[in-house]
């Protein structure tokens, strides 16, 4: 029977995220020393990720490797058996979080959006994307901050998490995702704008700095983003129809 320190704590997370954490840990077979992970090792990794997510979601709590280690009653030497640095731990946390993006917004983007319902679908997607960001605000802002500081691993993650969205937007335009195509360029610019506006709307510190109080709804940014997306998709579809 597992003692308290060996028991999974992913159950303190929302069920979908807890399942994603368990799946992510199940796919890791060895620790960084090359030792094969048994049940205890996988549970320890699971506990580390769950504790990291909890800490990130706790307002005002500094996020450090030592703070995570304290939460799971591990020494730093033991923690380093699983993660070499902060970026590696954050990437491990991002894996199960991004796995929940399929239900959060990708599933909606994969559906065909009829012309007569186009704005409604654009707004629904932007809303879903915003809600995902809001649910994981501190984690995603930490990722972007590290990417802006030229952390190559975080830069790559940011790019890789956006590329599938761009491809699906291009498909909504009725085109194929080719790097040099006008539709890909337009979809890329759309996502840059949508992400930046949602970054602003979900960052409490930025909202304070620009005096954007709690009375200012995120719809101030979501509606223009959805409109621009609608215009871009309509224009691309019309261009293809007349080609």
Q: What average pLDDT does range 2-15 have in this prediction? A: 58
Query: What is the model's pTM?
Result: 0.90
What confidence tens digit (pLDDT) does each residue in 126-174 have? 999 999 999 999 999 999 999 999 999 999 999 999 999 999 999 999 9
What confidence tens digit (pLDDT) does each residue in 62-83 have? 999 999 999 999 999 999 999 9
pLDDT score at 2: 42
User: Would you say the C-alpha torsion 74, 78, 81, 84 has a positive or negative sign?
Assistant: positive
Q: From CA 68, how far away is CA 47, in angstroms rounded? A: 10
């Amino acid at each position: 029977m597992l003692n308290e320190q060996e028991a999974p704590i992913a159950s303190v997370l929302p069920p979908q995220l807890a399942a994603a954490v368990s799946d992510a840990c199940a796919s890791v077979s060895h620790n960084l020393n090359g030792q094969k992970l048994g049940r205890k090792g996988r549970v320890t990794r699971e506990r580390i990720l769950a504790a990291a997510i909890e800490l990130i979601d706790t307002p005002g709590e500094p996020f450090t490797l030592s703070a995570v280690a304290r939460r799971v009653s591990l020494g730093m030497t033991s923690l380093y058996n699983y993660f070499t640095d902060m970026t590696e731990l954050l990437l491990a946390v991002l894996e199960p979080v991004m796995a929940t993006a399929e239900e959060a917004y990708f599933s909606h983007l994969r559906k065909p959006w009829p012309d007569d319902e186009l704005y409604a679908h654009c707004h629904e997607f932007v809303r879903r994307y915003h809600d995902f960001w809001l649910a994981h605000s501190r984690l995603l802002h930490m990722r972007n901050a590290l990417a802006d500081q030229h952390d190559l691993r975080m830069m790559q993650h940011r790019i890789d998490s956006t590329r599938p969205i761009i491809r699906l937007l291009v498909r909504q335009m009725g085109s194929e995702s080719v790097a040099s195509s006008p539709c890909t360029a337009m979809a890329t610019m759309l996502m840059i704008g949508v992400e930046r506006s949602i970054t602003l709307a979900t960052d409490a510190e930025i909202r304070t700095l620009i005096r954007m109080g709690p009375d200012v709804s995120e719809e101030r940014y979501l509606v223009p983003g959805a409109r621009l997306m609608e215009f871009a998709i309509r224009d691309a579809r019309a261009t293809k129809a007349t080609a």
